[in-house]
Amino acid sequence: MPNSENPQSTNDFLIASSADGAQVKVSLHGAHICSWCTPDGVERLFMSPLNSWRSDSAIRGGIPVVFPQFSNEGPLPKHGFARVSLWTLLETSRQIDGSGLIRLGLSDSEETRSVFPHAFSLELRVEFSGQELNTELLVTNTGDQPFEFTCALHTYLSTQLAAAAVYGLAGHQYRDSMDERRIKQEDAEVLHIREEVDRVYFAVDKPVTLSDHQHSVIASQAGFADAVLWNPWETGCAKIADLKLDSYQHFVCIEAAKIQHPVVLAPNAVWRGAQNLECVPVAV
Ligand SMILES: O=P(O)(O)OC[C@H]1O[C@@H](O)[C@H](O)[C@@H](O)[C@@H]1O
C-alpha cells in the first residue's frame, strides 16, 4: 500500500537474465515487470517516459498486477492495491534449462485489511528465456473465510500502433466500456485500433496476437478467463498525467484478466492465472 507522506523511488530494479540473454527488470513496487528484452536486446514492453517512479503511484507501463479489484468495479481504489504495494523478493534464480526465474510475494497487512478484510498471500512467478515470458499469479486464501476477487495482468505491449493489428478475438462477446458497457459480439477477424478502445472480452481460450510490421506477440492465458483490450488513443492520453499525448501510438494493452465471473476462493485454496507472451519476427 502506498505511503504518500514519504514516497520512495520505485526504479530500483531487480534484474535477471536467462542463459540465452533475455533480460527482465522487476520493481518490488507492485511486483511490476518494468522491462522485458528478448536475447536480441529488443524491448518488448512499453514504459511511459512520464512515469513518476513514486511509491504512491502505480507504474505506467510494463505489467502492472491488478488485484483484488479490476478497474473501478468495487469499493477499492482503481485496480486494487497490489500494484502500489511493496512486495517481497522470494527467489531469483536460473533454472536448469537456462531460463530466468523471479518470484515475488505479498501478504495481507494491517493496511490491506483496512480496505480488504481478508487473509491472503500472493505470489508472482516470472519465468523467461528466448522469445517467451511467462507470468503467473497465485492467490492463496490463508484465512478461514472465503473471499472474492477480480484480477488482471495489465500488460502494455510495445508496438507501432499505426501498423498494428490484433487477431484472435473474433466470435467472442465483449463489454464495451466506451459505449456504456454494452455487451457486443466481435465479428472482426482483424482489429485495427483507430480510436479509444476499452473492452473486456469474455471467455478467451485461444491466443490473441498483436502484430506490427516488425514482430508479432502471441499472448496466451490460463486461469484468466477474460482478456482486456485497451488503448487510450489521444483522447485518453490527454486525461492521464503520466502518458504523453502521443504515447498511445506506442502500445496496446492485452490484459489477461478474471472479471466477468470473480473468483470465490475457499479457505486454504489457491487460484492460479498465467499469461504467456511469445515474440515471433514478422517475415519480410
Ligand atoms: O489508469 P489506470 O488506472 O492504470 O487504468 C488504465 C486502464 O486500465 C484498463 O484495464 C481499463 O480497462 C481502463 O478503463 C483503464 O483506463
Question: What's the complex ipTM?
Answer: 0.98
**Ligand 1, from 47, 51, 198, 259: best to mutate by most atoms within 8 Å of Cβ?**
198
Domain that holds residue 274: 13-281
Per-residue pLDDT of the chain (284 residues; tens, 9 = 90+): 665 566 777 778 999 999 999 999 999 999 999 999 999 999 999 999 999 999 999 999 999 999 999 999 999 999 999 999 999 999 999 999 999 999 999 999 999 999 999 999 999 999 999 999 999 999 999 999 999 999 999 999 999 999 999 999 999 999 999 999 999 999 999 999 999 999 999 999 999 999 998 899 999 999 999 999 999 999 999 999 999 999 999 999 999 999 999 999 999 999 999 999 999 987 66
Domain for residue 225, yes or no?
yes
Q: Answer yes or no: is the C-beta of 201 below 6 A from any ligand 1 atom.
A: no
Domain for residue 1, yes or no?
no
Instruction: Tell me, in angstroms, the distance from the centre of ligand 1 to residue 73's CA.
Output: 11
Domain for residue 6, yes or no?
no
Domain for residue 50, yes or no?
yes
Query: How distant, in Å, are the alpha carbons of 87, 188, 255 from that of 17?
Result: 20, 38, 24
Domain for residue 208, yes or no?
yes
Q: Answer yes or no: is the C-beta of 175 below 6 A from any ligand 1 atom.
A: no
**Gyration radius (Cα) of the chain, Å:** 18
pTM for this entry = 0.97
Residue 4: its pLDDT value, please? 57
Total domain count, the chain: 1
Instruction: Tell me, in angstroms, the distance from the centre of ligand 1 to residue 262's CA.
Output: 18
Domain for residue 4, yes or no?
no
Amino acid letter, residue 259? I
Beta bridge partners, 254, equal 229
Instruction: Tell me, in angstroms, the distance from the centre of ligand 1 to residue 198's CA.
Output: 8
Residue 12: its pLDDT value, please? 85
Euclidean distance between CA atoms 33 and 147, whole angstroms: 27
Residue 6: its pLDDT value, please? 65
**Could you please report the per-residue DSSP string of 3-69?**
-TTSPPB---EEEEE-TTS-EEEEETBTTEEEEEE-TT--B-B-B-TT---BTTS--SBSBPEEBS-
Q: Answer yes or no: is the C-beta of 154 below 6 A from any ligand 1 atom.
A: yes
CATH number of the domain bearing residue 184: 2.70.98.10
Domain for residue 8, yes or no?
no
Domain for residue 2, yes or no?
no
